[in-house]
Amino acid sequence: MIIPRNEQTALIPEGASVVLNGMHGQADCRVFLRVDPDGVGPDDRTYLHIRTRAPWYTLEGVNTLQWFGPGLVEAPVLGVERLR
C-alpha cells in the first residue's frame, strides 16, 4: 500500500492497528512492515505492508487509511497491490 509521506503519516509505526475505508466497507488491519525509501524512491511516499483477516474484496477501492494513535491520522491511499 502506498500513502503520502508527511509529518502525520511518519508517526504510524510498524505493528500499528489501522482502518482502511473504501467503497466496499472498512477493514481492520495491522502494519506489518513500513518502508520509507530514502534516496531510492520518491521522498513523498511511504510503503506499508498491511495484514488483515478481512475479505480481499474489502480492499478493492480502498481510498483512506486511518490510524488512531495519540491523535487521528488520516491519509489518502495512493495505491494497493495484493500479494498472493
pLDDT score at 37: 80
| Residue 84 reports pLDDT greater than 70 | no
The DSSP string of 36-51 is --TTTS-TTEEEEEEE
Pairing of strands 72-76, 17-22: unpaired
pLDDT per residue as tens digits for the range 1-12: 999 999 999 999
Residue 25 DSSP SS3: strand
| Residue 32 reports pLDDT greater than 80 | yes
pLDDT score at 82: 72
pLDDT score at 44: 87
Instruction: Please say whether the beta carbons of 35 and 42 come within 8 A.
Output: no
pLDDT per residue as tens digits for the range 37-75: 876 767 789 999 999 999 888 888 899 999 998 899 999
